[in-house]
Structure 1
Amino acid sequence: MTSRAPLRVAVAGLGAVGTAVVAALQAGLPGCRLAAVSARDLDAARARLPEGVPAVPLEGLEPLADLVVEAAPAALLPAIAEPFLRAGKGVVVLSAGALLRAGHLIDLAREHGGQITVPTGALIGLDAVAAAAEGVIHSVRMVTRKPVRGLVGAPYLVENDIAIEDIREPLRVFRGTPREAAVGFPANLNVAVALSLAGIGPDRTELEIWADPALTRNTHRIEVEADSASFAMSIENIPSENPKTGRITALSVVACLRKMGAPLRVGT
């Protein structure tokens, strides 16, 4: 019986998600091993890594790994992904919103045999949405409600002079599409973009964003009408150290990596 060599995984970014993914790889993830890390402060990263795992600039990751997990600011996605895709390798993308502004990455993956994977992240039910999309989806609607601190500083709020710091009741701050939200809320609504990519696209998916001072968790509700099924789903995510990101986001990346080397895969 033959066994495959472990998948060499690089992690770009050591924020809340990247740190959690690194920890899971260090603890042992069957079929995977931590190959390299890149971070804004390389010296600090080296001090946190086990011996033998290098911390290198972004451009140094590709020769060391088969796949990279992008857990960095959205603006860095092309710099992280392009070398891997040109080499026919894999990229796990958390900044899904940035994909809408970097469509050439999909072309690179197609041309060179690479693959971009967008994990489930802070959402549920993407398998069901993707399955429904094999038929006809009539509508997809998502309502996101977040604690105030998870939305403060979003470019859309700043540009439109929407003050939410002192609100005392829920306030709808946005109604539009995931494509628009990806620009106005780049650190908040990657889940909406992922939903749109699984379903009917970033221009047909309907999205509302609410700031709610009574909430302590990020909540998302999805309603789908399709020719195969009608369904609704909701999730309440406990924030990580970064209030804009739920704890389950990092766990979804770990689950995604675990699937890649597993003898049994459950779910599409």
Structure 2
Amino acid sequence: MGKGSPLRVAVAGLGAVGMAVVRALEAGLPGCELAAVSARDLGAARARLPRAVPVLPVEELEPLADLVVEAAPAALLPAIAAPFLSAGKGVVVLSAGALLRNDHLIALARERGGQITVPTGALIGLDAVAAAAEGVIHSVRMVTRKPVRGLAGAPYLIENGIEIEGIGEPLRVFKGTPREAAVGFPANLNVAVALSLVGIGPDRTELEIWADPALARNVHSIAVESDSANFTMSIENLPSENPKTGRITALSVIACLRKMGAPLRVGT
């Protein structure tokens, strides 16, 4: 990519997040252009696009783009990311939990000069946690409360026989670490993994997950104690068309892409 050339962006996955990113790119993001997309059903994907954009299997995206936005099922992360990282290019990863099971991708990025970016997503305050991590963080605790339909079908609930349909009051369904949650709740807790990666790691971060029948929004509360500051944060996210994903997640990816080509960048 030459100086002044737009960043060619591929989007892998055309669910709620992927389509929102495609629409933003097509509407015009300074310094970026939509180069190609991929989806499970290539024919259906072509019918959904606003113009004739190359629609390819994930393994064929790399030659057409400088960066790929991964907005697909977590199991596809290696197939999406590896070609770009091998070529020294960028990957914006939404399935942060899958990084814990594919740490070879981080090694590949380091070896080939590629870069993995995990956007802020549904969390606030990651800049503050990143700053605190330059000193000493003593503890990070996160409590996530979700509507029942946002957790229904999670592997952890099925494997442990936890019934949440029809509950009449909040029920804590998990207490552990983001590493454990990434396995049991692969579509729900990428936010917790992102928090752990920027802070004290996926094995020291404390996490609780609650199913709450009274909620219509995803609620995340975080408490951090460090040698530089103690702080708490809370956010209520409106679900997207996919109840497992907050609406702000797609907006976070768009903001991340906008920052890449901006003459002024605010925030670490």
Alignment RMSD:
0.9
Report 1:207-246 matches (<5 A).
Answer: 207-246=207-246
Partner of 2:40: 40
Counterparts of residues 12-51 of structure 1 (less than 5 Å): 12-51=12-51
Give the distance between the partners of 1:34 and 1:71, measured in 2 at CA: 15
Percent identity of equivalent pairs:
86
- Matches of 1:95 and 1:212 in 2, distance apart? 24
1:65 aligned residue:
65
Correspondence for 2:119: 119
Whether the aligned pair in 1 keeps the contact of 2:142 and 2:221 (CA below 8 Å) is yes
Q: Distance in 1 between matches of 2:72 and 2:51?
A: 23
TM norm structure 2? 0.98
Assess if the C-alpha contact under 8 Å between 2:46 and 2:52 holds in 1: no
Q: Residue type of the partner of 1:154? A: A
Provide the C-alpha distance between the structure 2 equivalents of 1:3 and 1:208, rounded to a whole number of angstroms. Answer: 46
Q: How do 1:97-136 residues align onto structure 2 when only pairs under 5 Å count?
A: 97-136=97-136
Determine the C-alpha separation between the residues in 2 that align with 1:165 and 1:113: 47
**Structure 1, residues 93-138: CA drift from partner, whole Å, max 9, x if none?**
0000000000000000000000000000011100000000000000
| Corresponding position of 1:264 | 264
Amino acid at match of 1:10: A
User: Residue type of the partner of 2:73?
Assistant: P
- Superposed CA deviations along residues 177-216 of structure 1, whole A, max 9, x for unmatched, are 0000000000000000000001000000000000000000
* 1:187 matched to 2:187: yes
Deviations 1:37-74 (A, max 9, x none): 00011111112224441101111100000000000000
Residue type of the partner of 2:101?
R
Which residue of structure 2 lines up, in the alignment, with residue 138 of structure 1? 138
Gaps (5+ residues) in structure 2? none
2-structure distance, mates of 1:25, 1:242: 21
What is the identity, as a one-letter code, of the residue corresponding to 1:46?
R
- What is the TM-score with the length of structure 1 in the denominator? 0.98
Alignment of 1:53 onto 2:53: yes
Unaligned runs of 5+ in 1: none
Distance 2:103 2:118 in 1: 14
Residues of 2 paired with 1:51 and 1:264: CA distance?
Answer: 31
1-structure distance, mates of 2:3, 2:96: 33
Q: How many residues align?
A: 267
Matched with 1:85 is 85
Distance 1:128 1:263, change over 3 A: same
Matched with 1:149 is 149
Amino acid at match of 2:129: V
Which amino acid in the other structure matches residue 197 of structure 1? Answer: L
Partner amino acid for 1:138?
H
One-letter code of the match for 2:145? R
Q: What SS does the corresponding residue of 1:202 show, helix, strand or coil?
A: coil
In 2, the alpha carbon distance for the partners of 1:216 and 1:49 equals 30
The alpha-carbon deviation at position 3 of structure 1 amounts to 5.7
Q: State the SS of the aligned residue for 2:164.
A: coil
Structure 1 runs of 4+ with >6 Å offset: none
Which residue type is aligned with residue 88 of structure 2? G
